[in-house]
Structure 1
Amino acid sequence: MGTTENFTARIARELSEAVQEYGLAFVMVASYFGSGSVFIASQAGIMHGYTLLWAVVGAVLLGVMAQDMSARLGIHGKPLMIFVREKVGKRLATAIAVFLSIGCVAWTLGLVAAVGAGVSFVTGGAIAWQPVAVVTTLVAIGVGLLNYQKIEQLMIVMMMAVMVLYLIVAGWSNPDLGGVALGFVPTSDSLGALAIAAGLLGTTALWPNFFLESILVEEKGWTDEGDVSDARQDLVLGFTVGGITTVAILVVSAAVLQPMGFTELESFITPGEALVEVLGTWAMVLFIAGVTAAAFNSIIPIMWTPAYIIPQAMDIDVDQSSRLFKLVFVGLTASGFASPIVSSVLDLSVVDMVILFPTYNGIFGLPLAALLLFWAVNDRETMGEYRNTTALNVVNAFLVLLAFVLAVFAVQDFLELLFGGGF
């Protein structure tokens, strides 16, 4: 008995130490891996089979590159929005912060709708998704006011659980391994899927994380050059988990839904309904549990972003214990109450919202944030000897260029879908 207890205690201690040493990337990944990621990946699999797997890998690599820039900025320089304010002044910085925060509000509208739809399904439709979305907003506000360490631990547990759930379903879906392998190579067939590719990029290389990472590295005690390697290991670990999960979802959709004749996600539970036909009821349960957990996971870190960057743009120093931080977080997260109204006015289903609103951020928020981040890590005054090298600039400039190119090519399709009643 004593040996077992000692072994258990040692494992618990090692896990606790690992969480303390790493974990920030799981907050970043949890913020991007919401219901939008689930449904964009599902839509990609249904519409284009395995052909966009390369885009998932590319989005993950670009996400790691962007977060590496942000981490180095926080360690050697200052948080990104503070840099912006010092360079362009409070008025323009505040306008930028407010413009970007509109994207965070859009995300929240879709995320609380997704949680509501998941709970509604579990109750057999006895409760509509709209009132559940309101309750979800209240719960998100309460959880988001917890201290950072508690949030980080929650995100690690939930992200690992979501990955396991989807890997189980993917393993049972019996995908075409040859097709999967070919999907990791871009082809001419992918050129007709740029709007979905932009959505994958916009929901993986998540612009709020560019700001958050530069702020939260201090929470991990990463403050000098020796900590950069820890930050990078953390990023690789966290984004690998997120990338594997996204690949699993896309593979399931391509292997199961596309052969059944689906051409789009007709409702929130379409992927789950189809999985039941092939894999059994358990697949539906796992699917709904994964979507609901992923959606709720995303709300908190995404809505932390405006609570940090709006005061910082106004030259007001805040942390998570600050009254102003809490007021902005609560006030903007409360926008989730309007989710049913937005759905009704724009005639958008829950699926439309959780796909289109991350795409909005990929088109409008990501290019701007990527450009600001690229500027910051190349600023001699801010970064000194630690500014980007030529090699890093070549790689990092690709993120900025790709973000702008995808935005230009995808914006027309996005606007038609947004104001035309969705997919």
Structure 2
Amino acid sequence: MTATASPPHSPERSPRRRGAGLALLGPAFVAAIAYVDPGNVAANLTAGAAHGYMLLWVLVAANASAVVVQYLSAKLGVVTGRSLPEHLGLRMRRTPRLLFWAQAEIVAAATDIAEVIGGALALYLLFDLPLVVGGIVTGVVSMVVLSLHSRRGTRAFETVVTAMLAILTIGFCAGLLFAQVAPGELVAGLVPRFDGAGSVVLAASMLGATVMPHAVYLHSALARDRHGDVPAGPERRRVLVATRWDVALALIVAGGVNVCMLVLAAATLPGVPGTDSIPGAQRAIAEHVGPTVGVLFAVGLLASGLASTSVGCMAGAEIMRGLLHVRIPLVVRRLVTLVPAIVLLAVDADATMLLVVSQVVLSFGIAFAIVPLVVYTSRRSVMGEDVNTVTTRVVAGVIATVIVALNVALVVLTLAG
């Protein structure tokens, strides 16, 4: 473990070899894995089973917000050649920087617990492996994926993660081909409303699972590593246009998967006993929609857990590097962060409830990521000619305000209940 001054990363590709068109896509698809991790599965299934289509609007609004947030994160990395954690690390004094790092690491730990547990649940559903063994297997496979990034570079890692994204998309969306969706209720679900404190907690959980703090921190680093130091002018504008397409396409896929999960649960699980857990929901889906769909769902959950735990580990490493100016090998970090999830599985904690609670924890970390992101990308001293427009500042400010307000409401209603 070595201390560094946290200089800008060297790009994987030189500016002359950046390519064009589809060759510029990829970083957002890696970040998008965070939007379809096992925590999403628990939050969306619980929301659909408990409230039908009522909270569909939360997913739509959260995904639209995520497009803005993730583009700003990628834009920061492209324009400045530094990640969001690096900017924070360079501008904060020691004590605030340590406190900020502590909350960011708590968020990353909550993410990692959700992802390992999700992989363990999938292996239990597919092969009847004990959860502890499944958690260990998930951790080992994620180490292999992370070693691929270390040995083969960013592009190889992007290819593997994108392939997993395709697998989980099929796994989670296949059931809609056979489910009896109620179009009228689905449209009604787009109207914002709540039904008591329980629905607000779920909404915050869904928000934390959709607009992910660690994805905000990481995306700036992914864009930085892919594109390097892009000079101002036509070349940077071309990269930023490609980045907008990258973010839009990746989050259309991720948002579509989340909507599919909630709609599938709303169409098949209300009133069905035992659907308050992922294993129970998967069995109910298999019984009501078909065993093949049940297997595909479990395969999707496995791909989600394996991919997202690798991406989450990368995010945690970037947070530590940027804020503490400390580097540790990804595999070593993977070993350390695997321990809490294995311990929780070993003591037989409710896996599905841990997933939902982890997403609530994530929702508290969103403001800490979004507020400085909006501030930095709105400063001409940081962004130069690519500073946010007035419209972008207003939209991003509204998004940050709504997220903070929802979290305050979550605290008040939870304590009142």
| Structure 1 and Structure 2 fold alike (TM over 0.5) | yes
- Map of 1:7-46 to 2, 5 A cutoff? 20-46=23-49
User: What per-residue deviation string (whole Å, max 9, x for no partner) do you get for residues 291-319 of structure 1?
Assistant: 11112211111111121121222345xxx
Structure 1 match to 2:167: 161
**Aligned residue identity for 1:111:** E
Shift of 1:266: 3.3
Distance 1:63 1:227 in 2: 20
Structure 1 match to 2:214: 208
Structure 1 match to 2:200: 194
Structure 2 match to 1:361: 362
Distance 1:238 1:52 in 2: 22
Shift of 1:35: 0.8
Contact 1:105 1:333 in 2 (8 A): no
Distance change in 2, residues 1:188/1:392 (3 Å) = same
Query: Is residue 2:294 matched to residue 1:284?
Result: yes
**Aligned residue identity for 1:371:** V
Distance 1:257 1:18 in 2: 42
Distance change in 2, residues 1:361/1:76 (3 Å) = same
Structure 2 match to 1:67: 70
User: What per-residue deviation string (whole Å, max 9, x for no partner) do you get for residues 167-224 of structure 1?
Assistant: 2201210110111122122235488622111111111111112221211213332622
Structure 2 match to 1:97: 101
* Secondary structure, counterpart of 1:186 in structure 2: coil
Query: Is the deviation greater in 138-147 or in 292-301?
Result: 138-147
User: What per-residue deviation string (whole Å, max 9, x for no partner) do you get for residues 335-362 of structure 1?
Assistant: 32332423566x7311111221122111
Shift of 1:98: 3.0
Structure 2 match to 1:3: none
1:268 aligns with one of 257, 275, 278:
278
- Map of 1:14-413 to 2, 5 A cutoff? 20-77=23-80, 78-123=82-127, 125=128, 127-147=129-149, 148-187=154-193, 189=195, 193-221=199-227, 223=230, 224-258=236-270, 260-262=271-273, 265-315=275-325, 324-326=327-329, 330-331=332-333, 333-343=335-345, 348-363=349-364, 365-411=365-411
Query: Is the deviation greater in 352-361 or in 73-82?
Result: 73-82
Structure 1: any 5+ residue segments left out of the alignment?
Answer: 1-15, 317-323, 418-423
* Secondary structure, counterpart of 2:54 in structure 1: coil
Give the structure-2-normalised TM-score: 0.86
Shift of 1:70: 0.9
Contact 1:22 1:230 in 2 (8 A): yes
CA RMSD, aligned part only?
2.4
Contact 1:111 1:299 in 2 (8 A): yes
**Aligned residue identity for 2:226:** K
Contact 1:66 1:396 in 2 (8 A): yes
Contact 1:143 1:300 in 2 (8 A): yes
Query: Is the deviation greater in 230-239 or in 152-161?
Result: 152-161
Distance 2:280 2:31 in 1: 28
Misfit runs of 4+, over 4 Å: 16-19, 188-192, 412-417
% identical aligned pairs: 23
Distance change in 2, residues 1:353/1:414 (3 Å) = farther
**Aligned residue identity for 2:107:** G
Distance 2:369 2:125 in 1: 37
**Aligned residue identity for 1:30:** I
Query: Is the deviation greater in 350-359 or in 334-343?
Result: 334-343
Contact 2:126 2:299 in 1 (8 A): no
Distance 1:66 1:169 in 2: 30
Distance 1:300 1:93 in 2: 25
Give the structure-1-normalised TM-score: 0.85
Corresponding pairs, count: 388
Distance 1:53 1:19 in 2: 32
Contact 2:21 2:242 in 1 (8 A): no
Structure 1 match to 2:12: none
Contact 2:170 2:300 in 1 (8 A): no
Structure 2: any 5+ residue segments left out of the alignment?
Answer: 1-18, 231-235
